[in-house]
Structure 1
């Protein structure tokens, strides 16, 4: 008699399928710089304050690729590791003490993939409930998975550090990038007058989000500061690039009340231009709650605000249309690394 195929498509029979309900498929990084290996591992069990999420989609960030390569000293993985910082999915079970979520809730968050915390490149993930928020109802799983790291980084810079106000002139460097296009939309939602440096081919992206593009290759800092602000400087400058772009930010900011923030301020810089303007600087390190356990609930709160903006039509992530799965994750990483993706690369689980 022919065997009945199990839910995983094998031909070992129904009993085999029943024996495998405590397993899940996951991509494992066993050696830095090597391809991820697709295998089956035991399905995790929730502890107090945790939820079990059936992962629907996993966003690919540049940081994911650095972690995979072993090139992220500030965000090391503990091998063997399940990577994937961002996820969107559905709650399957809630652990003791969890009251904010229940089975069937669609959620999203910046939840793991670093520091020994399993990430989202798996069929299921056990997640600290504080890191999660309900997924925007207007967005798909793929779109929601493209939001967490970029939006939280944008919020921590513009809202938590710079205290952005309506009517202020705000400059976002690399406004079409992963953090940049989130920051542009957030600043616009706050009623700011927003400008964004981009290459000419990406003007339409930032214009579509409500910002005025600046061609940083064709126009010197002093020239666009004079043209856009009458020489006064920008109230807030958000650097999402680092290096020389952060140096340019110190020159572009307004005297006395100006604020510069950066999520990549890791180099050696002269503070003289900033000091001579009596302006301020703040750094953003988005992974700190995930790595230290401190402030995790704030990440959940930030994503609640992101969901509110998304459902109001004020936040739309830019997502590459190419479909990827666990089986094609290496192709997804190659596209993300190539620089040719039209938005954030997302893997459907």
Structure 2
């Protein structure tokens, strides 16, 4: 099969478009022919070796965690899916080796859900990790309720775009930070935009004088500390970027594969309550370019690899 792999840590120069053996399919896994694979910041961070302290890497390492595709074969113990089923998945294990930047992926059933019919392949490929992150932060860690006000930092990015929409389905008022060029975009998603950078605290207080009920930090760089000045209960602050949030009484969110949560996110898409804004698509062979664009940190929505 064709795949994107690395044989050592490094920059874009270590990325190879190569041929590798087809994956083996265990008893509780299915073989998926990938149609699209989402690109996420964690992908290039793994490539650079930044996560070596917490995840064992086995080389050659196929990158990627997100997929949308079609089941080709099922393991002997699998009853959830059958060949021909269209699925999405956040295919993460406790080590990194067999990722989703590939034509074929052996995915444990615990990482999969049925593909939302309302989404095309690119949108579906960009949904799993970002959608699960937003859902598990807002519904799980922060327990956002109807009528509350939620502040989302970096609201126009891949996770932020989905978090704005999911918070809206919960009945929350959403305030989202972004650069001025993305303010109309956030309004279309249902958020009230405020400019990030200098003066952010004052800008949020101008639209929410009493503070906010909860805050979700998707960018780091001191946003947990700033949020603590706006949220009365530190347990209502969550971050995907700042480990230190837990020491302040908040929640660090490390997204977990969960078929129930993933199905819930997919259901929102099928009900017309959640769309996946796709910023750019690249062929699988151009994964290095896709990662470079993602690493710039200025993308509106998701970057997705399309697999022939």
TM over 0.5, shorter chain: yes
Please tell me the root mean square deviation across aligned C-alpha atoms, in Å. 2.1
- From 238, 241, 256, give the equivalent of 1:264: 241
Task: State whether residues 84 and 113 of structure 1, in contact with CA within 8 Å, keep that contact through their aligned partners in structure 2.
Answer: no
8 Å CA contact retained: 2:5, 2:16 = yes
1:306-317, aligned counterparts within 5 Å? 306-317=265-276
Shift of 1:334: 2.4
CA distance in 1, matches of 2:219, 2:72: 38
Q: Could you state the TM-score of these two structures normalised by the residue count of structure 1?
A: 0.81
Q: Kindly report which structure 2 residues correspond to 1:202-217, keeping only aligned pairs within 5 A, or say none.
A: 202-217=182-197
Establish whether residue 108 from structure 1 lines up as the match of residue 88 from structure 2: yes
Runs of 4+ in 1 over 6 A off after TM superposition: none
1: distance between equivalents of 2:245 and 2:264? 34
Residue of structure 2 in register with 1:239 after alignment? 217
Aligned with residue 167 of structure 2, among 187, 202, 207? 187
State whether residues 83 and 112 of structure 1, in contact with CA within 8 Å, keep that contact through their aligned partners in structure 2: no
Residue pair 1:112, 1:118 contacting (<8 A) in 2 also: no
| Counterpart check, 1:59 vs 2:17 | no
Aligned partners of 1:256, 1:57: CA distance in 2, in Å? 40
2:57–2:95 contact (8 Å) kept in structure 1? yes
In structure 2, relative to structure 1, the CA distance for the partners of 1:264 and 1:257 (3 Å cut) is: closer
Match for 2:108 among 128, 136, 139?
128
Judge conservation of contact 1:184–1:209 (CA < 8 Å) in 2.
Answer: yes
Displacement of 1:336: 2.1
Q: How do 1:164-183 residues align onto structure 2 when only pairs under 5 Å count?
A: 164-183=144-163
Cα displacement string for residues 4-47 of structure 1 (whole angstroms, at most 9, x for unaligned residues): xxxxxxxxxxxxxxxxxxxx122221011143222222212311
- Residues 217 and 45 (structure 1 numbering): CA distance in 2 closer, same or farther, change over 3 Å? closer
Tell me the secondary structure at the aligned position of residue 80 of structure 1. Answer: strand
- The structure whose residues are more often strand, as a share, is 2
Cα drift, residue 96 of structure 1? 1.7
Change (3 A) 1:121 1:193: same
Q: What is the alpha-carbon distance in structure 2 between the residues aligned to residue 308 and residue 110 of structure 1?
A: 16
Instruction: Give the drift of 1:282.
Output: 1.4
Report whether the alignment pairs 1:71 with 2:30. Answer: no
Q: SS state of the match for residue 109, structure 1?
A: strand
Question: TM-score under structure 2 normalisation?
Answer: 0.92
2:261 is aligned with 1:283? no
1:35 equivalent to 2:14? Answer: yes
Deviates more, 1:71-80 or 1:28-37: 71-80
Unaligned runs of 5+ in 1: 1-23, 272-279, 290-295
Counterpart CA distance in 2 for 1:85 and 1:164 is: 27
The equivalent residue for 1:230 is 209
Separation in 1, partners of 2:222, 2:233: 22
Q: 1:285 and 1:69 mapped to 2: Cα distance?
A: 19
Match of 1:301 among 256, 260, 263: 260
1:333-348 matches, cutoff 5 A? 333-339=291-297, 341-348=299-306
Structure having the higher Rg: 1
Distance 2:17 2:247 in 1: 46
Corresponding pairs, count: 304
